[in-house]
Amino acid sequence: MGEEIINRVAKSDLITIDLADYAPNVEILELDLKQFLFEGFILKEKNFRASLERFNFNIYKNKVVGVYCSSDCIIPMWAFMLATSKIKNFASDVYSGDKNTVFQQLLLKNINNINSLDFQNKKVIVKGCGKIPLDERMYIEITKKLKKAVFSLMFGEACSAVPVYKKKQIDKK
């Protein structure tokens, strides 16, 4: 009855990675090309160029910007190039996509910048439930990044981890 409760998880050598920790910490704004289209869905080159010239890009100063079009129409690639050439004079960086798409791209970039050697021969759990919604790309990238380095890779929480990968040990006889 007087036995001390031991927290085996706290004493284990498991390393938990929360992908939310790699979320970009920048303000992301959007530039929807729909606002520069005739009636919201037809690109007339002369009007498009004139609209971009009149547009005040100062709101994007030192911000990360996603360029996209919310209209269900065909936009020529040069239109994205032209918009990017205008906005890059103000923005710190420009990506293709809406705010969420850019967020996911930046998160992937941060995951790819992880030094896998920091996890060499470690037991790693990638947290499954975090503070931000993540899609499967993040889990695919972290798996690709860590598989060659870690001893074992798991998904979930220490109390209910799903094994993903375990290095085969070479018997030394």
Alpha-carbon Rg for the chain, nearest whole angstrom, is 23
For the segment 64-79, what is each residue's pLDDT rounded down to a tens digit? 999 999 999 999 999 9
Domain assignment present for 44: yes
Instruction: Provide the number of structural domains found in the chain.
Output: 2
DSSP character for 81?
A: H
Asked whether residue 15 falls in the same domain as residue 59, the answer is no
Domain assignment present for 60: yes
Give the chain's largest Cα–Cα span.
84
Asked whether residue 18 falls in the same domain as residue 43, the answer is no
Domain assignment present for 104: no
Asked whether residue 83 falls in the same domain as residue 34, the answer is yes
Query: Count of CB atoms within 10 A of residue 137's CB?
Result: 13
Domain assignment present for 50: yes
For the segment 4-15, what is each residue's pLDDT rounded down to a tens digit? 765 455 556 899
The pLDDT assigned to 3 comes to 75
Two tokens at 161?
């981890």
Asked whether residue 83 falls in the same domain as residue 135, the answer is no
Distance CA 160, CA 25 (A): 30
Domain assignment present for 75: yes
Among candidate residues 43, 59, 91, the one where a domain is terminated = 91
For 83, the domain range is 28-91
pTM score, whole prediction: 0.82
Asked whether residue 33 falls in the same domain as residue 20, the answer is no
SS (H, E, C) 83-112: HHHHHCCCCCEEEECCHHHHHHHHHHHHHH
Contact present, 85 and 53 (Cβ < 8 Å): no
Q: Which of 90, 79, 82, 81 is nearest to 37 (CA)?
A: 79
For the segment 17-27, what is each residue's pLDDT rounded down to a tens digit? 999 999 999 99
The pLDDT assigned to 41 comes to 84
The pLDDT assigned to 1 comes to 56
